[in-house]
């Protein structure tokens, strides 16, 4: 059983070496150059920053501003300009746009469609709803924690005719207490790390731990979006579930989701919504890489379900210390860069790490 579990994980992550999704424009997330370079570039009303999170460029601006604000505290991540683990979020968000996942899935409006406002994010989109927890909530927390300067107040514009989306720090903290607390802890810990005497590898691990705690809290909070899945095809719902499940592995290893490393994870994702009848690995209008990725991600989630969650638990149990998480991140990169990475090598390493915990 342990060998089967490891094999599932190996194949799932090795499948990420592919080049399907459109997520880059001149080496940056798509439309990055059109986003706000400073908070004052966003709409302001009565001295309160008042962006529209249902506009793609506004929401992408949140990422640009948070990355710029946190970069000065990310020295332990490495010497490159794009080592900040937050880079994974705008890249993922760009994929959601280009693959049509932010458009109105009900077809009741033209929001996000080529025939309508292509920058519109539909409040009815499950993907847009989940991303709300990974963009709006962190941005409100960052503002509250003084990442953009003292006294910056933010109130999001609310989507017309839709309820359930929080718009202020106080509102979100009341509705999603744990999510906001985890993002607050991330930004506070990041600032505190500037004066930390810890060696860089431990400081890096601590920052990544806080980041992934907040990231996973957002995904758990996004359970509030589940009712929106009812309008999607069964294959798309299954893929969405597998996509959520994959976060368990990268988070447990405190994966450093830099721009370069995130690209490797995100490029094999399907470039369109899945439809009824789509069955990987035999989806005719998708690439071999997309088909393979869909097949293996589905298999990985199915095996974890069949094994009563032991696939995720085995991986998490091995990621028990700074040293084993460093090895885990190295293994994830090895699996991505080298699909031929031997299962026996993977097994011996993970078994050794689990034994040492």
Cα–Cα distance, 97 to 233 (Å, whole number): 18
The C-alpha atoms of residue 62 and residue 84 are separated, in whole angstroms, by: 15
Amino acid 7: pLDDT: 37
pLDDT at residue number 12: 38
- Predicted confidence at residue 353, as pLDDT, reads 67
Task: Please give the structure tokens belonging to residue 341.
Answer: 């990475």
Cα separation, 134 vs 261, whole angstroms: 19
Beta strands in the chain (DSSP E): 24-25, 28-29, 44-45, 48-49
In 3D space, the residue among 242, 300, 250 whose CA is nearest the CA of residue 274 turns out to be: 242
Strand, coil or helix: 148? coil
d(CA 239, CA 131): 16
Distance CA 53, CA 42 (A): 11
Digit-by-digit pLDDT tens for the chain (357 residues) are 333 333 333 333 333 333 456 789 999 999 999 999 999 999 999 999 999 999 999 999 999 999 999 999 999 999 999 999 999 999 999 999 999 999 999 999 999 999 999 999 999 999 999 999 999 999 999 999 999 999 999 999 998 877 889 999 999 999 999 999 999 999 999 999 989 999 999 999 999 999 999 999 999 999 999 999 999 999 999 999 989 988 988 899 899 999 999 998 888 889 999 999 999 888 889 888 788 778 777 877 887 787 787 778 888 888 988 888 888 888 777 665 555 554 455 556 666 666 667
């Amino acid at each position: 059983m342990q060998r089967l579990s490891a094999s599932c994980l190996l194949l799932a992550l090795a499948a990420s070496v592919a080049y399907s999704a459109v997520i880059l424009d001149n080496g940056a997330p798509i439309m990055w150059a059109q986003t706000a370079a400073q908070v004052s570039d966003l709409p302001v009303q009565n001295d309160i920053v008042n962006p529209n999170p249902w506009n793609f460029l506004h929401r992408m601006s949140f990422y640009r501003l948070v990355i710029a604000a946190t970069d000065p505290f990310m020295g332990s991540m490495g010497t490159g300009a794009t080592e900040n683990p937050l880079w994974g979020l705008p890249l993922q968000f760009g994929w959601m746009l280009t693959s049509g996942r932010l458009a109105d899935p009900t077809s009741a409006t033209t929001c996000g469609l080529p025939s309508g406002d292509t920058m519109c994010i539909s409040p009815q989109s499950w993907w847009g709803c989940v991303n709300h927890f990974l963009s709006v909530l962190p941005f409100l927390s960052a503002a509250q924690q003084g990442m953009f300067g003292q006294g910056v107040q933010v109130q999001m514009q609310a989507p017309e005719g839709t309820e359930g989306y929080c718009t202020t720090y106080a509102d979100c903290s009341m509705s999603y207490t744990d999510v906001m607390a985890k993002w607050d802890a991330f930004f506070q810990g990041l600032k505190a790390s500037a004066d930390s005497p810890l060696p860089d590898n431990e400081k890096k691990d601590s920052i990544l731990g806080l980041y992934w705690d907040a990231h996973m809290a957002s995904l758990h909070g996004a359970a509030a979006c589940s009712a929106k899945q009812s309008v999607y095809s069964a294959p798309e719902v299954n893929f969405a579930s597998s996509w959520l499940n994959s976060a368990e592995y990268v988070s447990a290893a405190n994966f450093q989701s830099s721009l370069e490393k995130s690209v490797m994870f995100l490029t094999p994702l399907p470039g369109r919504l899945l439809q009824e009848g789509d069955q990987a690995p035999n989806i005719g209008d998708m690439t071999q890489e997309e088909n393979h990725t869909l097949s293996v991600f589905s298999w990985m989630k199915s095996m974890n379900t069949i094994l009563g969650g032991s696939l995720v638990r085995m991986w998490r149990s091995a990621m028990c210390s700074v040293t084993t998480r460093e090895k885990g991140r190295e293994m994830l990169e090895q699996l991505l860069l080298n699909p031929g990475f031997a299962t026996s090598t993977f097994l011996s390493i993970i078994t050794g790490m689990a034994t040492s915990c």
